[in-house]
A and B are shown apart, each in its own frame.
Chain A
């Protein structure tokens, strides 16, 4: 079982729709959760992090965390073609101490 799992996609949504990206993790002791966006050929850039159960909103982005289900998600409202990228979920804490463990990423395509 992979430690951090994401659906590799591609996930295709129309412009203006809500894109929902999901991530599950196996280490129940994990403490912090990060979402990164990576454009093709570029390095990952941080979108947001979450460490408490519930929702955390930042502009068009909402991160949702459910530690009981070991599940974290990222919602992108009013999706734009510029949101087309690979989205990486990363998990820290528990047995991995300060290190991040990354999922393989979900490719998102937003079509006009």
Chain B
């Protein structure tokens, strides 16, 4: 069963805490992405990676960090420097002729 998985579905962060969101794909896609979505808003790109051990900042990278040690995995850490982390976080991967992006189910991050 191919696809993209994200965990957890809901995540609660305390003040000053770093939290890590998991994203795994078994589609054999080279590129992976992290987006943030706020209520009533479109998707904003946080980080993306086109190949293992390489990643680039997106439009809103401040307060976030990523790693890409395996092709299948692209975890996102929301650091304490991100002062407004409450949002819906979406992971995507892309492949194929048009590099079409497919999304995981998302993680909703809430601040306690």
B-binding residues in A (CB < 8 A): 4, 8, 32, 34, 36, 42-46, 49, 51, 88, 90, 92, 98-100, 102-105
Contact across chains for A43 and B106 when beta carbons are under 8 A apart: yes
Secondary structure dominating the interface of B: strand
* B31: Cβ under 8 A from any A Cβ: yes
Residue of A nearest to B6 (CB): A43
Give the docked Cα–Cα distance between A103 and B42 (Å): 6
How many residue pairs at the A-B interface have CB separations less than 8 Å? 49
A44 with B58, Cβ < 8 A, contacts A51-B98, A88-B42 known:
no
Contact across chains for A8 and B58 when beta carbons are under 8 A apart: no
CB-contact partner of A34 in B31, B45, B58, B100, under 8 A: B100
The interface size bin for chain B is: 20 to 34
A-binding residues in B (CB < 8 A): 31, 33, 40-45, 48, 50, 58, 90, 94, 98-106
Contact across chains for B41 and A100 when beta carbons are under 8 A apart: no
- Kindly provide the distance from the CB of B108 to the nearest chain A CB, expressed in whole angstroms: 8
Residues of chain A contacted by B44 (CB below 8 angstroms): 102
Contact across chains for B105 and A104 when beta carbons are under 8 A apart: no
